[in-house]
Amino acid sequence: MLDIELNTLQAYLGQQGKIQGREVVFACNKCRENGLDSRGDNLKFHLDKKVLYCFSSPHHSREILKDIAKIYGYKSNNWHENIIAYDKYAEVLKPSKQAEFQSYMEKCNEELLTTVPVLEYLEEKRGINKKTVESTFIGVDIIKKRWVIPNFKYNTNGKNEIINFEYRNLGFQKDSIRKEKGCPNGLVQINKYTDKSNKLVVLEGFYDSLVFYQYLTEIGEIEHYHIVTPSNGVNSLLNYISDIDFTKYEKFNLYIDNDEVSRPIASEIISRYPFFNDIVPNCNCKDFNQHYLECIKAKS
């Protein structure tokens, strides 16, 4: 292995870096190209292990190392491939952690299914019915007064592996969104991939995705679709979309919000991946959840 030197990394990034134990913390320039890493601490370099990793996207460290190899003239063209890959999912995918997550998910799901007023409130406000709750394992923590949405890691191996939870207070306010502390974010799935999942649809958020799942179930098309969303907002989608195994699908649909924040991101995705169909409803609805409630359900 050809070790990368700290001073080379500092010269490339144009940053000194902040020492935390045996790690040096930097702002990730790849994240910031997409308007992310506002705190300037996504990228870390371990002084002893010579491991470089980005918490936002595992691809960024490799891209940075490739850039450094070109700029500083390392003779071994594939030296960056030998750097230890950081797996941000390693801790949460351990059997003991998965058992803990599974237990909490099942408890909250059961609590929602048996608390009729809350279940009815969810259907009234978001259109999500009991059958969808049963199928997607979303739940409610009555004691902490919050919705509990499990984040299943995107994969095409037919598994549902929990990497995080999204929490919102029972009033659905956006500023109430919280995540499980210390858990990674990434591209997540609403339903499992199967050998019939020949269509991929990328949506912006969990409620849009859950309602889209419900709509496809109602029209008998769900078995053909794999529904995915970024776990921490549309601004991260450009980082995570490269995690998709594009060879597994025949059709690709992009269905994100029709507003000034999301439209530029949609345009950038289409420019990088022109095979995506950018779906924008020809109504005034901002997102699919609103479209389902006002243009589909209300007219059925």
31 band by pLDDT with thresholds 50, 70 and 90: confident
Q: Tell me the per-residue pLDDT of 273-291, one tens digit each, with 9 for 90 and over.
A: 999 999 988 888 999 999 9
pLDDT at 51: 81
Question: Which residues lie closer than 8 Å to 81 by C-beta, 6 or more apart?
Answer: 62
pLDDT at 238: 85
What percentage of the chain reaches a pLDDT higher than 90? Answer: 57
240 band by pLDDT with thresholds 50, 70 and 90: confident
Q: Tell me the per-residue pLDDT of 72-93, one tens digit each, with 9 for 90 and over.
A: 665 444 444 444 445 778 889 9
Q: Tell me the per-residue pLDDT of 97-154, one tens digit each, with 9 for 90 and over.
A: 999 999 999 999 999 999 999 999 999 999 999 999 999 999 999 999 999 999 999 9
SS3 of 76, please? coil
Question: Average of pLDDT values for 53-65?
Answer: 80
Domain ranges of the chain: 6-82, 95-297
Sign of CA dihedral 53, 56, 62, 65: negative
Query: Is 227:191 a contact under the CB 8 Å cutoff?
Result: yes
Question: Which residues lie closer than 8 Å to 200 by C-beta, 6 or more apart?
Answer: 225, 226, 228, 244, 248, 249, 251, 252, 253
Question: Average of pLDDT values for 58-66?
Answer: 81
pTM of the model: 0.75
Greater confidence (70 vs 196) lies with 196
pLDDT at 77: 46
Question: Average of pLDDT values for 226-248?
Answer: 90
Tokens of 144: 């902490």
What is the C-alpha end-to-end distance of the chain, expressed in Å? 63
What is the rounded CA–CA span in Å between residue 76 and residue 262? 41
Question: Average of pLDDT values for 238-255?
Answer: 91
Q: C-alpha dihedral over 109, 111, 115, 120, to 10 degrees?
A: -20
Question: Average of pLDDT values for 199-216?
Answer: 96
The β-bridge partners of 187 are 230
pLDDT at 52: 85
Q: Tell me the per-residue pLDDT of 167-205, one tens digit each, with 9 for 90 and over.
A: 999 987 777 899 998 899 999 999 999 999 999 999 999
35 band by pLDDT with thresholds 50, 70 and 90: confident
Mean pLDDT value across the chain: 88
